Structure 1
Amino acid sequence: MNAKALLLFTALLVFTGVFTSYAQGVPVIKDVEVKVTFEPTCLAANGSSTIKADSRWMLITVTYLAETKGSSGKSSNPDWIDNLTLKFETLLPAIYQGKDVYSLMSGKVVLWAVPGDGERHKEVGFIPPQVLKRYARPGMKFSSTEAKNIEARVSFYNKDQQLLGRAYATRKGAEKEAAARFSRAETELGVLKLEDVILSRDKTPWAVVDFDFYDLIKAEGSK
C-alpha cells in the first residue's frame, strides 16, 4: 500500500470512529420529577358530559431532561435515544380477599425515540377507575390530599434494559426510605403484585390530548 492510499485509509478509519462515537452517544436522564394525582371520569351522552365524582383515574406524571453524554446540551440536531422504556410503579393501600394489604402496581411505556436535546420531556402512567375500585381500601376518597401520601416510582431503561435513571414521588427528603420500601415490596410475599395495570397514554381517553407535546409511543409488535 503506497503512502497516499495509507493516508486515505487512516483518515477513513478516524472519520468512521468519530461518526460511530457520536451516533451512539450515551443517553443521560436527569432532573426527574414524579407526581401522583387523581382525575375524574367524564361520561359523555346525548351531547353533554357529566363528571363522576366517585370514579377517578390515578395519574403518575413524570418530567425529565434527556441528553446524550458529550453533547453541548440543547441542539437542533441532537442524538436520539431509541426504545426508551419507562416503568411506572406505585405502592397503594389495598384490600384483597378481605385483608388489608399493600399492592405493588406496575406498567410500562416504550417510547419510539426521544431526542437527547436537553429539553424537558413528559410522560404519564394511568391506573383505570376499575382497578382502583377493585383493590383500593374502602373509604379512599381519591383526593389531592391522599395523592400526596401515595408513593410512586418511575425507572428509565435503554433498549438493552440497562437502568438509566430512577425517581420517586414521596415526601421531600424521603427518597432513600421510599427506595427501601419498593425493594422490600418486590420480594415480600404479603404484597399483592399487579402487573400491567398502569396503562400507557395511548390506551386511555388521554390518547389524543396534547398529542404533539409528547414523545411518540412505540407501536406494539414493531421492531
Structure 2
Amino acid sequence: MRVRKKPWAEGYIKTHSDLITTNPAEHLGHWQERFATVQPLQIEIGIGKGQFIVEMARQHPEINFLGIEIQESVIAVALRKLVESGLNNVQLVETDGANVDTLFAPGEVDQLFLNFSDPWPKTRHAKRRLTAPGFLGHYANVLKPAGKIQFKTDNRGLFEYSLASFNNTGLIFDEVWLDLHHSDGNVGNVQTEYEEKFSQKGPIYELIAHFPQS
C-alpha cells in the first residue's frame, strides 16, 4: 500500500534524534546505550504507527523496546506518539528490518514481535515473508538462547505457512491460538491499529515460539 508522504516527517525525525536513529550500524552491539536503563531488549519489526510498541512500553517499564520501520512517513507518526507518551524505554529505528542480523549483535535481543506482516500471497514471493526460513535464521542469530518470537496475523494462509516454517526450522511452540481474541491468550494482549480495525472481520491468529537451546 502506498503511503502518502508527510512533508513534516524528515524534519521531525531529525529534531528527535534522542529517540530515533536512521543509522543503526552505529549502534550494533550497543543498543542499550540509547536507553536510560539497561534492561531486557525486545524488538518489533514493522511497527506501523506505533500503537503496539508504545503501549507495550507503557505496560512494561522493566523492558526496553526498539521498533523498526522502513517508511519515513509512518515511523514519524509513531515517533509523535512516543514523544507524547514521555516514555524512556522505547527507541525507534528507521531502516529495513529484513536483515535484522546486521542491526544487532548475536544474542543482543530477548524477544521479537512480528505483527501483521505483509503476507506476500503469491507463491513466488514466499521468501519475502518475514516468517520464511531465511528470516528465521536471521532471528536466531540475534536472539538470546530460548529467546521468543511472537507472531500475529489475520491472514489464514500466512499463519499456516508460518506454522510449517517454524516447525521445519526446529522452533519449539509455546502458544498457538487460532482465535486469539476469544482465547486465554487474549489476556494482556496489546492490539495494533490494524488489529483493532480488522479483528471484527475474522479471527486473529497468534503463535509464540522459541529456538531450542544448543
- TM superposition score normalised by structure 1: 0.25
* Bigger share in strand: 1
Larger relative contact order (Cα-Cα within 8 Å, sequence gap ≥ 6): 1
Using the size of structure 2 for normalisation, the TM-score is: 0.26
Bigger Cα Rg: 1
